């Protein structure tokens, strides 16, 4: 596993689109078959490169959503209206199309089942994508590690992987949603931005020394990480991945 994931030189590979699934009104999951794909670890990403007719190239990073296995990988991409790459990926790509990508990339924001739990995952919007790879990896490995996902979305319809998260819950996995803008009638869950009180209620206590992974937009990640440190979690156990406003 480690050998496959840390191979040195990165090479651009041709990836074939084999499936496109709608997740929400703004997000799609694109499945690729990547000949020669060396395997990956949960939490790693790929760089995607688009080249136009004039030779102009644009590169963006996207987290891998799927658990490791074979030469197929899935990316879940949220459409950013003023983005340079994401509108192409979500609106234009069709089964049979090809793009260039390289990876797997990264080794810091990674969880392996043999690290065990407890694990606290905190995601904002499409920041859930690498966390979903960890949830899928946990199930795929038959792990029953205590894993909790605190997931912030704007509305119930904006919850990426909503049905699958529901299905995978139990057996040690707890999923807690907060809906920050609108809530469906009768909603009894959280309806505010993630704060210290919420993290205290949902997450393992600091003395349980959970592995913590936080992914989302920069202000979200920093607010959550600061709140976790104030609760007494050790900074070095909190791994963060920010995606900025220029992404997409």
Partner 1 sequence: MTTDALRLDGNSVAGLLQEIFGTEMTTAVGTCGGCGASEPLGAVHVYRGAGVVLRCPHCANPLVKIVKSETGTWIGSTGLRTLMVASSTVD
Interface contacts to partner 1, rule CB under 8 A: 2, 5-10, 45, 47, 59, 61, 102-103, 105-109, 218-219, 222, 239-246
Indicate if the alpha-carbon torsion angle 197, 202, 204, 210 is positive or negative: negative
CA distance 1 to 15: 22
CA distance 108 to 233: 18
CA angle, 76 then 77 then 80, to 5°: 160
Beta-sheet pairing, 13-22 with 27-33 = antiparallel
Among residues 56 and 108, whose Cβ is nearest to partner 1?
A: 108
Neighbours of 9 (CB within 10 A): 5
Among residues 208 and 218, whose Cβ is nearest to partner 1?
A: 218
Q: How far is the CB of 128 from partner 1 (least distance, A)?
A: 16
Give the neighbor-by-neighbor strand order of the sheet with 147-153: 173-179, 147-153, 119-124, 211-217, 238-243
Among residues 108 and 163, whose Cβ is nearest to partner 1?
A: 108
Q: How far is the CB of 50 from partner 1 (least distance, A)?
A: 15
Among residues 152 and 240, whose Cβ is nearest to partner 1?
A: 240
Q: How far is the CB of 242 from partner 1 (least distance, A)?
A: 5
Identify the burial level of 24 via C-beta atoms within 10 angstroms of its C-beta, where 0-12 means exposed, 13-18 middle and 19 or more buried: buried
CA distance 151 to 159: 8
Q: How far is the CB of 121 from partner 1 (least distance, A)?
A: 15
Q: How far is the CB of 217 from partner 1 (least distance, A)?
A: 8
Q: CA–CA distance from 44 to each of 21, 112, 195 (Å)?
A: 21, 11, 27
Give the pair of three-digit tokens for residue 29: 């999951």
Q: How far is the CB of 218 from partner 1 (least distance, A)?
A: 5
CA distance 238 to 216: 14
CA distance 66 to 72: 8
Among residues 162 and 193, whose Cβ is nearest to partner 1?
A: 193
Among residues 59 and 200, whose Cβ is nearest to partner 1?
A: 59
Among residues 46 and 135, whose Cβ is nearest to partner 1?
A: 46
Q: How far is the CB of 6 from partner 1 (least distance, A)?
A: 5
Give the pair of three-digit tokens for residue 63: 């987290």
């Amino acid at each position: 596993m480690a050998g496959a994931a840390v191979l040195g030189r990165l090479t651009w590979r041709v990836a074939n689109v084999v499936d496109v699934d709608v997740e929400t009104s703004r997000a799609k999951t694109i499945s690729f078959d990547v000949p020669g794909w060396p395997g990956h670890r949960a939490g790693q990403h790929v760089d995607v490169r688009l080249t136009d007719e004039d030779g102009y190239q644009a590169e963006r990073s996207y987290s891998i959503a799927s658990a490791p296995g074979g030469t197929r990988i899935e990316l879940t991409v949220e459409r950013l209206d003023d983005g340079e790459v994401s509108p192409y990926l979500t609106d234009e790509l069709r089964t049979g199309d090809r793009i260039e990508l390289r990876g797997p990339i990264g080794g810091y924001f990674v969880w392996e089942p043999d690290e065990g739990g407890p694990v606290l995952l905190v995601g904002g919007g499409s920041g859930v994508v690498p966390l979903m790879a960890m949830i899928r990896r946990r199930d795929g490995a038959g792990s029953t590690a205590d894993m909790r996902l605190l997931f912030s979305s704007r509305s119930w319809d904006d919850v990426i992987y909503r049905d699958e998260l529901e299905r995978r819950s139990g057996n040690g996995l707890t999923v807690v949603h907060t809906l920050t803008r609108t809530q469906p009638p009768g909603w009894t869950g959280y309806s505010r931005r993630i704060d210290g009180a919420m993290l205290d209620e949902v997450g393992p206590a600091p003395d349980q020394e959970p592995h913590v992974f936080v992914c989302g937009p920069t202000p979200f990640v920093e607010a959550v990480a600061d709140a976790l440190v104030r609760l007494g979690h050790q900074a070095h156990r909190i791994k963060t991945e920010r995606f900025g406003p220029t992404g997409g």
